[in-house]
């Protein structure tokens, strides 16, 4: 099939028999473009929101298939808006939007349910996860695996499970899923697996190597690194060393700019 331009400049086509096929009408093109730029029933969570003009909100959402997306929720601050009680953090939503600019328009939001609300200190830990996503994820960069890790972390935070374990697992998954997390089980200097009894430092851009006398980064046992890969934080030394290591790695990838929630949690001696 060959293409041509008609007198109006619209592109048309010639079929196999040589007969001219009419160009799509402007209305048809607009309808196709509208469908292309409209997303419906996308699983997601609210990460953060702030005021936009007098009665609306800009809502940052983390979605399964589209990553982090910024949406305008028109009229969401009005007393009569049904969105007021729906656009809440840590609650699974089914979200729809339209538009093609960086700031899209929210067209639908429905509460899905099925998760226990976070309370007390778990609520603050949840905001810490959200701030990590806001700071380290580019907009509209899909990470389905990370989305599943986020759902898992929220679910675990709502139980009696150790929050420290949940946070370390998610932090490591975040770095790995975004492509900046090294393989902690492999010694990059000697090109061999990490030895449990040896002492290492982790280079943020490459991975573990044997510790040297002048190193300023956290020194960790190979066992700690292997425990982190296995998500086994039962050893108190692993808990201590992994906390210092993840703080060091995250600070590097955040360019040294501190997280607000981390500052609060450190003040409370909980993180």
184 and 248 share one domain? yes
Residue 58 has pLDDT above 50, yes or no: yes
**Residue 248 within a domain:** yes
**Residue 13 within a domain:** no
Rounded average pLDDT over 135-159: 95
93 and 133 share one domain? no
Residue 139, phi-psi category: left (phi > 0), alpha (psi -120 to 50), beta (remainder)? beta
Rounded average pLDDT over 55-61: 95
150 and 104 share one domain? no
- CA torsion 256-220-151-68 (nearest 10°) is 30
Residue 6 has pLDDT above 50, yes or no: no
Query: Where residue 36 falls among pLDDT bands split at 50, 70, 90?
Result: low
88 and 195 share one domain? no
**What pLDDT, on the 0 to 100 scale, is given for residue 30?**
39
User: Which of 111, 139, 157 is a domain's end point?
Assistant: 111
Residue 196 has pLDDT above 70, yes or no: yes
Residue 160 has pLDDT above 90, yes or no: no
Domain ranges, residue 46: 40-111
**Residue 3 within a domain:** no
Mean pLDDT of the residues in the chain: 87
**Residue 161 within a domain:** yes
pLDDT in tens, 202-222: 999 999 999 999 999 999 999
For residue 188, the domain's CATH number is 1.20.1440.120
Percent of the chain with pLDDT over 90: 70
**Residue 26 within a domain:** no
125 and 105 share one domain? no
What would the DSSP string read from start to end of the chain? Answer: -EEEE-TTS-EEEE-TTSPEEPPPPHHHHHHHHHHHTEEEEEEEEEEEEEEETTTEEEEEEEETTTEEEEEEETTTTSTT-TTTTTS-BTS-EEEEEE-SSSEEEEEEEEE---SPPP-THHHHHHHHHHHHHHHHPPBT---HHHHHHHHHHHHHHTTTS-HHHHHHHHHHHHHHHTT----TTEETTTTEEPPTTSEEEEETTTEEEE--TT--SPPEEHHHHHHHHHT---SHHHHHHHHHHHHHHHHHHTTTPPPHHHHHHHHTT--
**What pLDDT, on the 0 to 100 scale, is given for residue 28?**
52
Query: Where residue 271 falls among pLDDT bands split at 50, 70, 90?
Result: low
Residue 151 has pLDDT above 80, yes or no: yes
pLDDT in tens, 94-112: 999 999 888 999 999 999 9
64 and 147 share one domain? no
**What pLDDT, on the 0 to 100 scale, is given for residue 1?**
39
Rounded average pLDDT over 216-239: 97
Query: Where residue 9 falls among pLDDT bands split at 50, 70, 90?
Result: very low
In the chain, how many domains are there? 2
151 and 257 share one domain? yes
**Residue 200 within a domain:** yes
107 and 136 share one domain? no
262 and 176 share one domain? yes
pLDDT in tens, 251-262: 999 998 988 887
For residue 70, the domain's CATH number is 2.40.50.140
259 and 181 share one domain? yes
Rounded average pLDDT over 151-173: 95
**What pLDDT, on the 0 to 100 scale, is given for residue 148?**
97
259 and 141 share one domain? yes
Weakest-pLDDT range from 74-88, 176-190, 232-246:
74-88
**What pLDDT, on the 0 to 100 scale, is given for residue 80?**
86
**What pLDDT, on the 0 to 100 scale, is given for residue 17?**
46
Rounded average pLDDT over 28-34: 42
Query: Where residue 266 falls among pLDDT bands split at 50, 70, 90?
Result: confident
**Residue 132 within a domain:** yes
Q: Is 151 or 85 the better-scoring residue by pLDDT?
A: 151
């Amino acid at each position: 099939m060959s293409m041509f331009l008609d007198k109006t400049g619209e592109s048309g086509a010639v079929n196999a028999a040589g007969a001219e096929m009419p160009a799509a009408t402007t209305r048809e093109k607009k309808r196709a473009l509208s469908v292309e730029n409209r997303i419906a029933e996308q699983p997601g969570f609210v990460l953060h929101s702030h005021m936009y003009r007098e009665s609306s909100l800009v809502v940052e959402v983390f979605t399964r298939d589209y990553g982090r997306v910024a949406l305008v929720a028109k009229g969401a601050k009005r007393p009569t808006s049904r969105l007021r009680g729906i656009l809440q953090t840590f609650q699974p939503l089914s979200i729809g939007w339209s538009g093609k600019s960086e700031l899209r328009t929210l067209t639908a939001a429905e509460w899905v349910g099925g998760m226990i609300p976070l309370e007390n200190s778990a609520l603050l830990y949840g905001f810490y996860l959200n701030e990590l996503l806001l700071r380290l994820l580019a907009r509209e960069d899909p990470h389905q695996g990370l989305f599943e890790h986020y759902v898992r972390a929220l679910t675990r935070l709502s139980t009696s499970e150790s929050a420290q374990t949940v946070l370390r697992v998610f932090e490591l998954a975040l770095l790995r899923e975004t492509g900046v997390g090294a393989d902690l089980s492999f010694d990059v200097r000697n090109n061999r697996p990490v030895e449990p009894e040896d002492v290492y430092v982790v280079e943020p851009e490459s991975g573990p190597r044997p510790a040297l006398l002048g190193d300023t980064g956290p020194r960790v046992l190979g066992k700690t690194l292997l425990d982190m890969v296995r998500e086994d934080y039962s050893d108190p030394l692993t808990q201590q060393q992994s906390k210092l290591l993840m703080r060091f790695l995250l600070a590097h990838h955040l360019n040294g700019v501190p997280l607000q929630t981390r500052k609060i949690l450190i003040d409370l001696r909980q993180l």
